[in-house]
Structure 1
């Protein structure tokens, strides 16, 4: 029977998981874009995140099918027949497996990243490997639990319960006599272990981040970035709450919330694992918006331009504090006119242009080609300065300032 999305509970559940599926896809996309911007190849942690994203896609497809074909959100017996209940319970098994594998890949991806960044000591590497074993032990227990929770009674070959397929079928066919474990308790135990592994993975990099030679604010920022998974642990607690309220006597009606949180949790885990690696993208995007004129100046300087877009003349030296240092003149190397360098008592200003001195009189007349004799400049305190500047603008004693540039 086809139910579509007519039921509000089922429709809302599908909309939520689709929205977060889109967000997790965007997060992975930005992670890969950031990698490309840094010209870095895809590494093991990236491939693990991609596997997790594939698990999310499959989970979204399964949950959508459980609503449109399995009747999730409707009451069993009143609307949903037994055949559709079996169909929904069948979908529950692969959904559990995808939940465990998807979260296992996300946590392993983070640990591989920690290993690459902080894995300089043997002790830390061993700690990471032990944590990986614990995480995958939990993930495989989720998969095994999905198949072994129910065990059929031995009724003979007429009911086909003696075969392995009959044993598996008892997990979704309530008409097969048998014994099932407490599903609610099993789900809650798995959720509690999941939360413990979350905390374990989040705490792994804390000592190493705190020992970095950085300001306290930056350390806190790094811890917050890597600690976003704490929100995923909060979702795990919410999921356990709804699993405790699961009513298997009317499974199709009570499954929307447990299904939704079982898919949203891996989706948020993928997003949290990608955020620490998005910095190159956000730095490039945010700089034009929040960098102001300094960001534009930085960009222009890399292109050989001034902040106003004019061509930068690296050979020109300009002493902007001439009025504060007794008007010491600087010599231009590649041409160009300097600012005012000294005030003469007889009404003209001395400067250097193209390596040659020049005068600018108060009436605007200029005279170049001044003899390169020693000039005595005015001193504001004594009238005569003991500091003498030769015509070419060099200080007595032939002091030369040289700046070296290297282009990488």
Structure 2
């Protein structure tokens, strides 16, 4: 077999031109890939900055999402590299044997990387769900989803790696001896299971959101944030519909163009939707007016800004009780955590109005809560009357 020439026959009447083959999808894939990776990287950077510098609460869900983002970049780099080298978007009968071998191997690598990519993204969301509630049934559902995600991804990755016997037949089209399993059911199972778990992750937090003790506007906003995540269900469904015809044709290097675009879209959209829950916290610090809120400092000024007259001067003093240390104010955002309503016995969580000066916040030690209260003493100096003989009297 001469690997320097096409190894797949062209259709009758097709004129093969190795120097100038037909191309398809080059611009579209690069556009969706490069722009998508730039946007997802920006969202990822905002999330990291928010959780480390503003909230100072970098947790497991953040670390797992960073790993997922790294897999996303690796998958898209593999795909775009093939378009740049002229392996994809070209009919398979206009590729040499070496090019076909490289293209099919890189497609297999991207398929293998796709499983841990989606698994890490789902785990990031599931770790976030564990913060929502301490209800036993809810946490059991979260752990069950974790077990399901790990189980089916392991069950899919190993067959994708060990597809053929002997092993090297998987990566070398020149080896004709041996047998290989049909990869079509594996790819279909990957798309179906990911779509089903996406739906489960979308539905799971809805009962918790409905029972939250917060204004209806904020509750609707949370539902919208989780609802945006349903876009990944749409991309999975579209990819599933396009995947089956691609796997049935021998001309896979050409047929992968449209499914590849949706793979790029989904790879970036998963990261973007995973970063959305932290965006509100970010904008509360840098641009609170964009989300209809005032900054922490402006709320503090409003709390003590009621004037009694033109000659009055307001002072805010800090109340220090006996045996307490003087506290200092730091320009730091609190974590935008969520807790359930009164129907749940929580060990630690946030309760009360988010804009109030009194709250019960979670303690780093399990099973404990820390109550913080800010007390402001307002005093005013009333100017003496200029008329002689009239003494100063406090005004209440």
Q: TM-score, normalised by structure 1?
A: 0.68
Aligned mates of 1:43, 1:312 — CA distance in 2 = 48
Q: How many residues align?
A: 316
Q: CA 1:289–1:105 in structure 2 vs 1: closer, same or farther (change >3 Å)?
A: closer
SS at match of 1:235: helix
Structure 1 partner of 2:154: 140
Structure 2 partner of 1:67: 83
Structure 1 partner of 2:145: 131
Q: 1:76 aligns with which of 83, 92, 115?
A: 92
Structure 2 partner of 1:110: 125
Q: 2:62 aligns with which of 37, 46, 49?
A: 46
When Rg is computed on C-alpha atoms for both structures, the one with the higher figure is 1
Aligned mates of 1:282, 1:257 — CA distance in 2 = 36
Structure 2 partner of 1:215: 215
Q: In structure 2, list runs of 5 or more residues that go unmatched.
A: 5-17, 317-377
Structure 1 partner of 2:298: 298
Structure 2 partner of 1:365: none
2:45 corresponds to 1:29: yes
Structure 1 partner of 2:173: 173
Q: Which moved more, 1:277-286 or 1:14-23?
A: 277-286
Q: CA 1:214–1:108 in structure 2 vs 1: closer, same or farther (change >3 Å)?
A: same
Q: In structure 1, list runs of 5 or more residues that go unmatched.
A: 153-165, 317-331, 337-352, 359-367, 373-391, 395-399, 402-408
Answer yes or no: is the 8 Å Cα contact 1:315–1:334 preserved in 2. Answer: yes
Structure 1 partner of 2:103: 88
2:388 corresponds to 1:369: yes
Answer yes or no: is the 8 Å Cα contact 1:70–1:85 preserved in 2. Answer: no
For 1:224-283, what per-residue CA distance to the aligned partner results, in whole angstroms no more than 9, with x for missing partners? 212322000100011112111205411211122223322321321111011011212122
Structure 2 partner of 1:251: 252
Aligned mates of 2:290, 2:224 — CA distance in 1 = 24
Q: CA 1:5–1:273 in structure 2 vs 1: closer, same or farther (change >3 Å)?
A: farther
Q: Which has the higher contact order (CA 8 A, sep 6+)?
A: 2
Q: Which moved more, 1:235-244 or 1:123-132?
A: 123-132
Q: RMSD of aligned C-alpha atoms?
A: 3.6
SS at match of 1:88: helix
Query: Post-superposition shift, 1:370?
Result: 3.8
Answer yes or no: is the 8 Å Cα contact 2:112–2:160 preserved in 1. Answer: yes
Structure 1 partner of 2:268: 267
